[in-house]
A and B are shown apart, each in its own frame.
With several copies, the nearest count.
Chain A
Amino acid sequence: MNPSSEVPGLVSLIALRSPASGPDGAFLQCQNCKKIIFSVEFEQNLRVCPHCQHHHRLTAQIRIDWTFDEGSFVEHDTGLSSVDPLGFPDYGKKLEQLNAKGENHDSVLSGTATIEGLKVSAAVCDFAFIGGSMGSVAGEKITRALERGIELKCPVIIFCASGGARMQEGLLSLMQMAKTTGAVEKCRANGIPYIAVFTDPTMAGVLASYASVADVIIAEPKALVGFAGLRVSKQAGVGKVPDDFQTAEFVLKHGMIDRIVSRKELRATLAGLVRTLGGHLLHAEAEA
């Protein structure tokens, strides 16, 4: 019994992935449990369903607004844009269309911010831009965000949301896996803490590179986290596929992430990690 079919006139079936959250007073439908949510409550609840606790996807901008101190985020690397190095079918056209729509930050926003007053370098993937796929621009922005941590002597926070590498850039996108991982190695060598947050979905080439080698990995509840597409995994596997396969809960159980943190506790958890793991940097700064 779907309430939306009972009271169709009251329900505004706005796609929850769109940045516009609908007019005040409108109703939305949970993507998971299909129950009706009052949109104001939905926003107040950080787009977590009050009925089933489903964490709906956020845009990069909303993620930034809800994570960092108000107005503290300064975007960097805004001049970067994707090209079509292989002349790949339809890729150039797609980029043009996205540009025309004003979607000009590619699949990653990078910058600096503060969280509970503590300085961080940050990057946030945007799943809305070609599935958050990592091409040359995304790889470059992630790399610069990590390097900026070294330069500014502050921790790095990256919100992952990606289907994987951007195949339209061929081998160049595979190389972004190496490039970003190289930047993580430089952070390690320089004592820069790097915290990754796996949001829905964190997959393939992104998971198999900078995402998985973070010092601390936090995931949002039920986020999809995996290497291969489910179809491929099922074909390859001899054994049974567990019910929670490729979820945050599955990878937690298997020791691959540190914690699952609900959206409303995320900011405080991140601040706590920045404060403790980055303590030596503040100390070094105070001495300098």
Chain B
Amino acid sequence: MAKETAKTHKEWEKPLLELEDTIAKLREAARREADPVKQANYIEKAETYQEQCNRYVKLMYSNLGDWEKVLVARAEKRPYTLDYIQSIFNGFIELQGDRNGFNDNAIVGGPAEFNGRPVIVLGHQKGRNIQDRQMRNFGMAKPEGYRKAIRLFEMAERFRMPVISFVDTPAADPGVESESRGISEAIAAAMLKMFQLTVPTISVIIGEGGSGGAIGIAVSNRVLMLEHAVYSVIPPEGCAAILWRAPERAPEAAEALQITAKSALSFGIIDEIVSEPEGAAHRDPAGASDLIKEAVVRHLDELLLLSPAELHADRHAKFRKLGKFAETF
């Protein structure tokens, strides 16, 4: 099955895209057609195809395999952090810099209003076009990204603002520059800072939850995950390379690693799966935004009932209990 071994979301969605293209052409033809009979014919055909298309979308997205989830989570058209900030928040003011000599564009953040309340919102940001993607380093943050996040966390603490983080990164940047400025320390220090906070914190895995790069800004009181997002300790390609010296066996590795929202929920690692609209977030960004907003509002309202000390203790307790092992006494 070609579907099973597609390497990109675009490739995997190809039949659907072709069908949509045909529909668009039919509708265009109908629009230009003067003869009402021919026009009705075009429209009828378009509608038949549209029904078929809708059925396909439902079929394809209602039962995604693990590897397909990876493709969807990485989809070029999937809404990114700034899209959700735009649609869910008001008056966002981006703040920049690590105050140590560097600024990273793979993590963005700043104050904004959420549901009428000032919050700090931040997240990994991938790029849309080629230049943007390079400028954002494909959403792979360098140490200065995590240090910017730490600054924002400190600001949130100082001004009693809840923190909402969007997670969407293939991994932290693994280059020589990142190593030389301490990418490991930056990730660890960001996690440590998140543990220190006494304000409500909520993370939403919206696309790729890639390993240390993800957890670095995801140590929150509540961790939500979009239905088709993935969260993994290692990219499936890397896992396949290590296990079988065959990166092309990534789809198998994806299954072995259990990277879906459903398994993350079953292990108690996330608190809730946020449904996506039919055909996934990229086919209805506004719908996805509404669903995210509803879930975050609900969790935030719950957390706002807790005292600062309770919020701190709650977050510690949440992560303290994660892990599966046997113990004999």
Contacts and interface: CB of A to CB of B under 8 A. Distances in A.
Interface string A237-259: 11111100110001111111111
B158 interface: yes
Interface of B: 91, 93-103, 110-113, 117-118, 144, 148, 155, 158-161, 172-185, 187-189, 191-192, 195-196, 211-212, 214-216, 218-219, 231-234, 238-239, 242-243, 256-259, 263-264, 267, 269, 315-316, 319-320, 322-329
18 contacts: A89-B243, A167-B242, A171-B259, A171-B264, A172-B324, A174-B232, A181-B188, A182-B315, A182-B319, A204-B212, A208-B185, A208-B188, A233-B179, A236-B173, A255-B102, A258-B94, A277-B118, A280-B161
Given A143-B320, A212-B188, A228 B155 contact: no
Contacts of A182: 191, 195, 219, 315-316, 319-320
Chain B, interface SS category: mixed
A200 to B, nearest CB: 16
Given A83-B326, A182-B319, A255-B148, A208 B192 contact: no
Chain A, interface SS category: helix
A212 B243 CA distance: 27
Contacts of B159: 191, 193, 215, 277-280
Interface residues of A, number: 83
Nearest to A232: B174
Given A82-B325, A175-B322, A259 B158 contact: no
Given A140-B323, A170-B258, A215 B176 contact: no
B135 to A, nearest CB: 12
Interface stretch (A16-24, A37-45, A121-129, A268-276): A268-276
Nearest to A260: B96
A227 B174 contact: yes
A276 B159 CA distance: 9
A273 to B, nearest CB: 6
A134 B100 CA distance: 25
A216 interface: yes
Contacts of B102: 254-255
